[in-house]
Chain A
Amino acid sequence: MSLSHSRMPEGNPRPSCLPVLAESGLHEFFAEHEADSAAPGALALMLAAGSRDGAWLWVRHEPQGRETGLPYPSGLAELGLSPAAVLFFRAQDVASALQAGLEGARCAALGAVIIELRGEAKAYDLVASRRLSLAGRTCGVPVVMVRLGASPVPSAAHTRWQVRALPSRPLAAKAPGPPGFELSLLRARNGREGVLIHVEWDRDARQFIPRSPLGTDLPARRAAPVSGAVVPVPLHRPGAPDVWRHAG
C-alpha cells in the first residue's frame, strides 16, 4: 500500500515498508484503547525515525503526564530512537501546543513534528488543522497529531489512523517480544479507507517489518507489508460507558 507521492519531503527520505509519512502534511493517530496510549506516540516517533533525517519536535499537552506518564528517555533509547534528536515541548494548554506545533511545521530543518493532545480539544478545529497541514506541506515537514481519549472530528488531515498494540511474538521463556502494532486507516484524502497494516518494530535496523496479526508465527521478512482492504474497526468512543478510570 502506498499513498500518493505528490510531493516528496526534503531531507533524505528512507525506504520504509510503512510509507505513512511519505507525504508531508498532517496525519492523525488515534489510540484505540486507553491502555494503548503509549502506542501512537511511539509509533509516530518510529515512523519519523524511519522516514527522514533531522530533529523531531515532540509537543505534549501537560495533563498527558498524569494519564500516560512522562516520556522516558531511556525507553526511547531502548526503542533504537535517539533521545538527543528530540526537542521536547511541554504545552500548558491545547492552544500553545498547537502554536508550538505550527512553529515546528514551518521549520524545514525538522524531521517531523509530533503533537500529542489528550481529551476533546475544541481549539483543534478545521482551521487549526488546515494551518498545520498547509505549513507542513509548504515546508515538507510531516506533522503527526496524536489524539488520546478523543473521537475524531472533521479535520484537514491527509490520513487518519487508528493505532493499537498487537500481541508480540513471544521470546524464550514466554517473554514479551519486540513491539507490534496494528494500524487501520480510518480516513484518507485519496479514499483508501479500511487498509489494515500489521507491523513489528525492529529496533536494531530502525525499521518496521511486516508480521501476521496473530503474533504466534514469524513471517519471513518481505518487501511489501501484509495489508489489504478489510472492514474498518469501529472506533472506541470515550463518551460511551467505559470502565476506564482517569487518574487524578
Chain B
Amino acid sequence: MLVEKARGARTIAALNAVAAGLGLRFGMTLAQGRALVPQLTTGEADADGDSRFLHTLAATCEIFTPLVALRGADGLILDITGCAHLFGGEREIGQAARGRLHRWGVQTQAAIAGTPEAAWAFARHKRGIIAQSGEEEALAKELPITALDQDRATTLALGRAGFQTLGDLANRPSNLLSARFGEGLASVLSRVLGREDIRITPLRPLPEVMAERHFPEPLGLMESLLATLERLAGDAMRALETRGIGGRAFEASFFRSDGMVRRIHIQTAQPTRDVASLMRLTRLKIDALADPLDPGFGFDALRLAVLRTEPLAELQPHLDGERSAAEGAQALADLVNRLVARFGHESVQRFVASDTHDPARAGGTAPWLSSAPSTWPALEPGQPPARPFTLFVHPQPIDVLAEVPDSPPLRFRWRRVLHEVMLAEGPERIAPEWWREGASTAPARDYYRVEDAKGHRFWVFRERLYGDTNASPRWFMHGLFA
C-alpha cells in the first residue's frame, strides 16, 4: 500500500487487492488505516516515477499504433483505427496489448469502443468488453454515474438528484444538464454514449511517413535488424518520392520483446531520399551510442518514421561531369550529417550574429542543423579589424600601468608576462544593455586595441573611470587579435 500527503494528512494513494479486502479504501488517512490493520506495510507514493513509468508503457504500446495518449495518472488510450486487422482482430489486439503490459508486472483493465471516452468508461466499469459500433449507447446506459469521471461535487450532485445510471441522464435534454453542470458534462455524456467522437491527442505527433515490420519470432541479430531497417527505409523513401519530398529527421524504433523501446534519431542537413546514406548514418549512430543497443531476448518489431520532411526536387546530373553548386552543397550536407551522426548534434556549429553591441553576445555559435546562416555588417574600407579574433568567455584581470583619466595602458601584465604597449587605439566605450531583462548593473567599459613591442595585439578594457569612485578601476583582457 502506498501513501501520499494530501491536504496536510497522509492518505492512502494506492493499495493492492489484499489491502482492499481488509477494508482499506482509497483516500482514507493513514491513521484510519493503521487503526483497521495495525501491521500495515506502507511505502511513499512517487507521482513522478509513476508518470515516467506510464510514459514507458505508452512507448511499449506504440508497437500497436503510433497514436497513443495518456489518460489521467494511470490510463493509456490507443487509437487502433485501421490497426486491428494487422493483429488478427480487435479481440486479439486487446489481448496482445494487455499481454505486453503484463510483462511489466502491471494489472490492466481494458475495453475497446468507438470513442475514447466510451472505451475509458467501459474499461473501468465493464472490463474486457468490446463494444461493436452502434451498441455503445445501449451498453453505456447501464453504467453508473461515476463512469463519467467527473469531480466529486458533480458526482454527488447527480446522485442527490436521483440519477443512478447514465441511462437516467441520457434521456434528459442536454440543455438542462449544461445549465446546471456546464457544457463539459453534456459533451462527456454524449461521447461516452458514442453519439459524438473526438480524436485523441497522441503523446507524439503522427509521423509523416512510416514503415514498420513485426517479426513472428524475436530477432536478436544486429545484421538482420539492419537489413530489415534497410528494406523499411526503401519503402519509406518510395513513399516520399511519390510525394516529391525528402526527409530531414528520421526515427528508428526498436521494440524489444520485453517491452523496452529504443529509439534512434537521425537528422540530416538537407532533405534526403537516399537509403544508402541513411543506413550509413544509422550505423554511425548505433556505433556511437553511449548505451549500446542491447538485443536482450530479441526485438519484436521495427519501425522507421520520417518525422520531418521538406520538398526535394530531383537533381539533374551534369553531362560534362562538372560539379555543380548543388552537388557541392550536397557534399557539404553529407559531411555535416556524418559528423553529427558520430559526434552529436552540438558538435558541428555555425557562427551566428545577433544585433547587439554587447561584444559577448554580438557573435556566437549555434548547432549547424538547428540554425540559419546570418549576415554580418559591411566593413569600412582601409581600417584595421576593430574586433578580436578570439574572445575570452570570462575576461581575465590584468595589472595595468596607465595615465589618468582615460589613456590606454602603457604596460600591462597578463598571466605573469609583462607587455610593453607600443601602439594603442581607444577608448571605445561600450555600456551594458540596461534595457534588457535581467541585465547586469556592471559599469560601462572602455575598450582599447593595444599592440605590444613584439607585435601581439590585444583587446583590453577598463571598468569605470579613474576618479568615478574611490576604488581604482580594474582592467581586463577580453580578446586576442590575429
Interface residues of chain A, those whose CB is within 8 Å of chain B, are 33-39, 41-43, 46, 54-55, 57, 65, 68-80, 82-84, 86-92, 96, 99-100, 103-104, 107-110, 164-168, 170-171, 173-180, 201, 203-204, 215, 243-247
**Those of B386-402 within 8 Å (CB) of chain A:** 386-393, 396
Q: Is the CB of A244 within 8 A of B376?
A: no
Instruction: Assess A37 versus B480: contact at CB under 8 Å? Given A78-B385, A88-B348.
Output: yes
On chain B, which size bracket covers the interface?
A: 35 or more
Interface of B is mostly: mixed
Residues of B within 8 A of A83 (CB): 351, 353, 363, 376
Q: Is the CB of A42 within 8 A of B389?
A: yes
CB closest chain-B residue, reference A175: B425
Q: Mark B440-471, 1 if CB is under 8 A from A, else 0.
A: 00000000011111111100000000000000
Interface of A is mostly: mixed
Tell me, in angstroms, the Cα distance from A178 to B455 when the chains sit together. Answer: 11
Q: Mark B345-375, 1 if CB is under 8 A from A, else 0.
A: 0111111110000010011110010000111
Instruction: Assess A87 versus B350: contact at CB under 8 Å? Given A38-B390, A75-B390, A104-B335.
Output: yes
Cβ-defined partner of A168 (8 Å) among B347, B384, B386, B387: B384
Q: Is the CB of A167 within 8 A of B455?
A: yes
Q: Is the CB of A168 within 8 A of B364?
A: no
- Other A-B contacts than A38-B388, A100-B347, 7 sampled, CB-CB below 8 A, are A69-B479, A75-B481, A83-B376, A84-B375, A100-B343, A167-B451, A203-B385
Interface residues of chain B, those whose CB is within 8 Å of chain A, are 323, 327-329, 331-332, 334-336, 338-339, 342-343, 346-353, 359, 362-365, 368, 373-377, 379, 381-382, 384-393, 396, 415-417, 419, 422-425, 449-457, 479-482
Shortest A183–chain B CB gap in Å is: 13
Q: Is the CB of B349 within 8 A of A72?
A: no
Q: Is the CB of B376 within 8 A of A90?
A: no
Tell me, in angstroms, the Cα distance from A104 to B347 when the chains sit together. Answer: 14
Shortest B13–chain A CB gap in Å is: 44
Interface centre among A57, A73, A96, A175 (most CB of B within 10 A): A73
Q: Is the CB of B376 within 8 A of A89?
A: no
Shortest A2–chain B CB gap in Å is: 24
Q: Is the CB of B348 within 8 A of A89?
A: yes
Tell me, in angstroms, the Cα distance from A69 to B459 when the chains sit together. Answer: 12
Shortest A90–chain B CB gap in Å is: 6
Cβ-defined partner of A171 (8 Å) among B327, B373, B384: B384
Q: Is the CB of A75 within 8 A of B387?
A: yes
Q: Is the CB of A179 within 8 A of B482?
A: yes
Shortest B177–chain A CB gap in Å is: 61
Q: Is the CB of A71 within 8 A of B389?
A: yes
Q: Is the CB of A178 within 8 A of B343?
A: no
Q: Is the CB of B424 within 8 A of A174?
A: yes
Q: Is the CB of A175 within 8 A of B424?
A: yes
Residues of A within 8 A of B332 (CB): 55, 87, 107, 109-110
Instruction: Assess A36 versus B339: contact at CB under 8 Å? Given A75-B389, A174-B424, A175-B384.
Output: no
CB closest chain-B residue, reference A178: B384
Q: Is the CB of A84 within 8 A of B449?
A: no
A-B contact pairs, 20 of them (CB 8 A): A35-B454, A35-B456, A36-B456, A38-B389, A72-B389, A73-B365, A74-B376, A76-B363, A77-B379, A78-B387, A79-B482, A87-B332, A87-B350, A90-B365, A96-B343, A108-B331, A164-B454, A174-B422, A177-B384, A215-B455
